[in-house]
Amino acid sequence: MNLFDQVSEDIKDAMRAKDKIRLEALRGAKKEFIEAKTSKDGHGELNDDVAIKIIQKMVKQRKDSADIYVSQDRPDLAEKELSEVAVLEQYLPKQLTPEELEAKLKAIIAQVGAAGPSDMGKVMGVATKELAGLAAGRAISETVKKLLS
């Protein structure tokens, strides 16, 4: 079952369970999926790689919103956003630990033959493709910067 079908089934389950936060998060995800499917680039198809990128984007947006709500002393709204993050993260692949990320990046650096900070672009190009969905872009960038300096 692909991610689109899984989310659709989980929406039904959330409706039966009357779980409002889960339902709202999943409906938002399904809306984004449908928009991606019907866009010019979508061609009526939605593979899991694109769906995972959409969910990652949604998680990042909700975390950013929660940070803003916290800074504006609105913990009620921040809590709602973070609850939706928890729901959406269940559909993402398991994230790499910092140690696993560092090990994979060391292998990529050796593969590319990077020697110093000037080779960061080469490493990041390969790393973002190989580690897509497994680690946040910011974490990859910071770790590469640390390893190359």
Same domain membership, residue 75 and residue 9? yes
| Residue 114: per-residue pLDDT | 81
Domain total for the chain? 2
Structural domain boundaries enclosing 21: 3-89
Cα 19 off chain centre by:
23
Last residue of a domain, one of 62, 89, 116: 89
Claim to verify: residue 85 and residue 24 sit in the same structural domain: yes
**What whole-number distance in Å separates Cα of residue 105 and Cα of residue 96?**
11
Phi, psi of 23 (to 5 degrees): -60, -45
State whether 42 and 104 are in the same domain. no
pLDDT tens digits, one per residue of 65-93: 999 999 999 999 999 999 999 999 999 88
Q: Are residues 83 and 104 in the same domain?
A: no
In whole angstroms, give the CA distance from residue 27 to residue 25.
6
State residue 75's pLDDT score. Answer: 94
